[in-house]
Chains A and B, each alone.
Chain A
């Protein structure tokens, strides 16, 4: 009797203890689940995009360039009936372009047909899939890389309404058929799973509901224990009670673990679609959807790259489930099962090549943002890079250096490629080996620029039209320049010869040192440094007269900035790598827009432009005439530093301004020169770029006259060896050439351009 009473009391005590302990525990779990779910913040990588390519009739671009652009944005060859595929035939290129969310809003996926003109160098027709002409199509931009989120989880957030219906129905069919009906846990499902597993002798179904899996992923450690299972169940019920099915499913689809990419975990179907197929999740077809859903069960066990056979079996099993639950018909099942695993290029490895440019983007961003704000916040950064031109620049540097260097791998180099009118940086190469990334020479190698500085001395001279014009006679002769507290400086010409009387434009074009120093001393070193400063180069260094021959250190990027106003006909603009930054909601938080500033010496700049053309046709850049397949009217200047340590070439057309540096990392004499080392790299690059003929609108105050020599005199078209030369009005020579007397002809202006 006493015993029964004791047992009863014990039982009562246990019940009380149970209620007393578990009651608060459950209450705590419930509160915790609700709070943590509603307060959770998805971290999302900040992504960096290239410039989107605009396709329109009249664009100079050949078929190969277009398909290279397609590849860079993740398209692959195949049936253009499917999103993300293109097909190139003799007559045209047909593509199915995935959708993209631009700042202005979502652009839907679309089918386009692109035709090329007679010479195959120009797009002459753009049409939609049904044959209507389109005047303009903007492709989605290539993804260059991303700034890591703080927790190393890589994710592309997708709203529930943006997931394709097959994925939403399919995940429920495979993982949790009762999802729409249960309260967070599903005892029947648990039993059915246990029964199925028993029957098949293997774990083919898990008993966890989608809600439970979400709880496990979000809140709990992966260890398997009864207590954890209990916590999971309580929290699952709690989530169901507090939040709707839609919120839970959306969170699940964005949270579920779907594999590893290097040191980053891929979470959610949005990122997985991009990672495995190079497509937005909306563009997935049946077999791709099935593959990803299959991976939920075990992302590394069923990893399509590491375990392709296992992944294929699992995918086909999921396709069968789609069929059994009526999501697809028999024909689609047959079709989908017959397709091989078909994976896109892994994005992450491809992006390493853009590290040099991303370095520049990050430096610019770091001026405006803290690291923390950049990393976890899902910014979308739209840059100016042209991925195809970038590839061209990388190849040109590697191949050309290999061809010209004395011993293998001796030389290093850098390229900066800019669109002059906008100042947008289209390509940036900081190492001859594209995959390697450490020292970014395009941004960080400060080297003497040699004769690359000379045009700015001549610009100062030409800005004084009462003293100098393009045909003024300069003296190229030995000279001695006194230097405070040091030995006098005696500059030499590169060929060791002094050339006597030379025309100003020849002294620049043929890069004579002694004539240039003489002219530089007249315009003055302080004026030169002021000009450099005005053009955006601060602290150019010591004002030693050797600066007149380029003993001034600059990075390739700075040299590009220096030449930008020349290439843009006298309108300077800061070089930029970023166009726009959007936050995760798509709001613009920064725009770096087009800004112009007219340079004061626009007329002198026009004369200099003429002289730099002269340097290419009759000066140190002559070899371009055979190195370039077609010369659209390139202007350019070579540069070589003392003891042949550094080689430079700067050249531009209307479309591109390219700066090339080559030399040794240890700054030792490298046997290089501007025309023999840097110019070939430049030519190699420009041979790959689409070029249009250079057009010039000469400023108002410019007039053209025929000039003949030996002394520069006014002549006419009929005079032998006469040359048409531009002058700032009133600065032209006044005396007539003897040639005119013989021909009994009055001198006249050759022509005058408005």
Chain B
């Protein structure tokens, strides 16, 4: 291939370049200016209160050992302060099990600690969608969303998210 690779540029019209630019505009700017990293946000504002307040129904899913291994390694990396490594390990795990709500929430909390509020919120919402929607995980979902919205200066929505916390306590509706 080699040379042909670079000659390909000649074939591209300006329009095409624009097109590709737009397609990858989001992908390309991988480096968003991160907010100051505070590694305790997730621990103090999400995990601890969720654990304290959770009553009633708990859901524990059976997990693939590969996912468990990666998730534990990510937690360890996070404890060691290596958030980048933690993120990479979680991405590997999510490639194996993209619908694991615990994993998605773990990623959300990591993004919170990295100050990537938007991604924290998205992952927490996704975790809620595929998760049990009750219990401790539900608590952590909405606490993460609330904190992330607050940090993005969207207090109204943050308040709504905080109110959603209460629904986590409700027993799940019976399935017929």
Contacts and interface: CB of A to CB of B under 8 A. Distances in A.
Interface in A327-383: 351-352, 354-355, 358-359, 362-364, 366-368, 371
A569 B131 CA distance: 14
Contact of A145 (B1, B64, B129): B1
B26 A574 contact: yes
A135 B68 contact: yes
Contacts of A146: 2
A699 B27 contact: no
A236 B18 CA distance: 54
Interface string A248-276: 00000000000000011000000000000
Given A135-B65, A362-B6, A697 B130 contact: yes
Given A56-B64, A596-B123, A536 B172 contact: no
B8 interface: yes
A494 to B, nearest CB: 30
A151 interface: no
Interface in B117-135: 118-119, 122-123, 125-126, 129-130, 133
A104 interface: yes
B94 A576 contact: no
Interface in A580-605: 588, 590-598, 602
A538 B11 CA distance: 21
A751 B173 CA distance: 10
Contacts of B99: 421, 654, 695, 697
Contacts of A561: 23
A54 B94 contact: no
A576 B129 contact: no
B60 interface: no
Contacts of B61: none
A536 B22 contact: yes
Interface stretch (B40-48, B49-57, B83-91, B152-160): B83-91
A352 B1 CA distance: 6
Contact of B20 (A358, A363, A536): A363
A24 to B, nearest CB: 43
B96 interface: yes
A85 B11 CA distance: 42
Contacts of A593: 30, 87, 91
B34 to A, nearest CB: 12
A355 B1 contact: yes
B129 A697 contact: yes
A374 B76 CA distance: 35
Nearest to B95: A422
B122 A597 contact: yes
A57 interface: yes
B74 to A, nearest CB: 12
Interface string A123-155: 000000000000110100000011110000000
Given A54-B66, A359-B8, A598-B125, A575 B22 contact: no
Contacts of B66: 54, 56-58, 135-136
Nearest to B104: A596
A263 B2 contact: yes
B94 to A, nearest CB: 7
Contact of A595 (B2, B6, B119, B172): B119
Contacts of B16: 444
B36 interface: no
Contact of B2 (A148, A359, A555, A558): A148
A594 B94 contact: yes
Nearest to B8: A359
Contact of B5 (A138, A147, A558, A588): A147
Given A56-B64, A355-B1, A593-B91, A364 B129 contact: no
A557 interface: yes
Residue of A135, A136, A358 ringed by the most chain B CB atoms within 10 A:
A136
9 contacts: A56-B96, A58-B64, A358-B5, A364-B20, A422-B95, A536-B23, A570-B129, A594-B94, A596-B123
Kindly list the 4 A-B residue pairs having the minimum CB-CB distance in the complex, ordered from nearest.
A56-B66, A421-B98, A135-B65, A574-B26
